[in-house]
Amino acid sequence: MTVGHPNPFVRQRPDLPWPPPIECNERSLVIPKKVWKLADIRTIAQAQLDNETDTLLSAITDKCVEDLQKLEFNASDAAERVLLLEERHYDKSMWCMRSKRPGVKVPDEQLWFPCDAYVLKVRERVVVTGWEGVMEYYIKLCLTPSQKVIVLVSFHPPEFH
């Protein structure tokens, strides 16, 4: 019985370039074309807001979780910014590795996610401090193989890195 490719994304989309640089220190590999339809991403982000549930957007890297905490963003806050994305905000696409979880054994091939990266500038106002200005976000995201959940790999302003 043929199981197919070890990466679920490549099984569904054999047109995606493979392999990412598993043997080297690089954390990502450029994909020469946009992977996901922005309309599909926006549909899921809207569902996140409509359902008020934390299950439709999920951070899959420790750094992304940390950055969202620094921003004090919950899933709805992230969804609101994702809904602002337009095609003109698209930057590039790349393979990105999710963070490993202690005690969970997963083959390295399954840790790679094909992501689209966007740069979004938003006028923000912080009620508590009164700060108002333009905030720039670097958002790297992917859909799950079922295309029902947005996984966030990066969500940060440039000064966080």
Q: What is the pTM of this model?
A: 0.87
Percent composition of the chain: helix, strand, coil (DSSP 3-state, to 5): 30, 30, 40
Task: Kindly state whether residue 12 falls inside one of the protein's structural domains.
Answer: no
Give the C-alpha separation, 138 to 156, whole Å.
5
Q: In CATH, what number is assigned to the domain containing residue 87?
A: 3.30.2310.40
Question: What residues have CB less than 8 Å from 158, skipping those under 6 apart?
Answer: 136, 138
- Over the stretch 8-58, which tens digit does the pLDDT of each residue have? 999 999 889 887 765 555 555 789 899 999 999 999 999 999 985 656 899
Other Cβ atoms closer than 10 A to 114: 22
Number of domains in the chain: 1
Instruction: State CA 2 to chain mean position distance.
Output: 30
At 113-151, the pLDDT tens digits run 999 999 999 998 877 777 788 999 999 999 998 888 999
- What pLDDT does residue 24 have? 53
Q: Cα–Cα distance between 14 and 156 in angstroms, integer?
A: 30
The domain of 124 spans 26-99+110-160
